[in-house]
Structure 1
Amino acid sequence: MAAGRLLALAVGAIALVACGDEQRAAEPGSGVTGVVHLGPQCPVESRDDACEDQPAAGVTVIVSEQLPGEAYAAGTEVARTTTAADGSFTVELEPGEYVVTAEAGMSCELMDVRVSAGSYADMDIPCDTGIR
């Protein structure tokens, strides 16, 4: 009889652990996703010949902690990734405030972003080619 109770307790414990794993797996992640754009692409633009920015493929995206009370001020780096062929990127992050930039062209803007639990903030990072 004691062996039967012990077996029932063990099966119940395994069932609880398994349910806990399923619940964690169902929770959505959080972070930032976006596209790095590189432009201008032409020295002269006109109405008839617009020269649109191009996606920056294979460039490094850097995510840093945002310094408290300082807009566009990057603190400690917390993550980095490389853009895909279409210039897109995704970085999984804990909720918080970050500064995101990329290494492309002559310079890229520093972009502030707030990441909320269970969602991905969407952003574009413009980078300057230096073409004038």
Structure 2
Amino acid sequence: MPQSDYLLISRGQWDETASKEDVQDAIDRFYAWYERGVAEGVLKPGSRLENRGKLVSRDGVTDGPFAEAKELVGGYWFIVADSLDHAARIAAENPCLVYGLTLEIRPLEAVRARAQDVTNETPPAWRPDEG
């Protein structure tokens, strides 16, 4: 079965009841897991994201607003797997899950976008079952 790339998005905040030492241990174990995954070819490089940013829309460029803190994206990486389920099993090994972070895994769309296709960006009025 051919392998595909999946985007892994890290969201959330650390469990405030955890000690900083325990969280640091999970972070250290994450980097060991991450580096091993890159060496084995099941992960591709990604990065943590800084706290600052800009929001760009048809109304211009502003400093935010951004998503709620619990929804903020803390970083992104890529998984190479046979299926979405396989990618989820790889992501489930991330040591940071124990302390409150959540991971969203999304297949990368291989074809160009078309306005007639139903996608994340399609407004409800354009959807056949809702319009």
TM-score, L = length of structure 1: 0.28
Q: Which has the higher helix share?
A: 2
- Computing the radius of gyration from Cα coordinates, the structure with the larger value is 1
Relative contact order, higher structure (CA 8 A, sep 6+): 2
TM-score, L = length of structure 2: 0.28
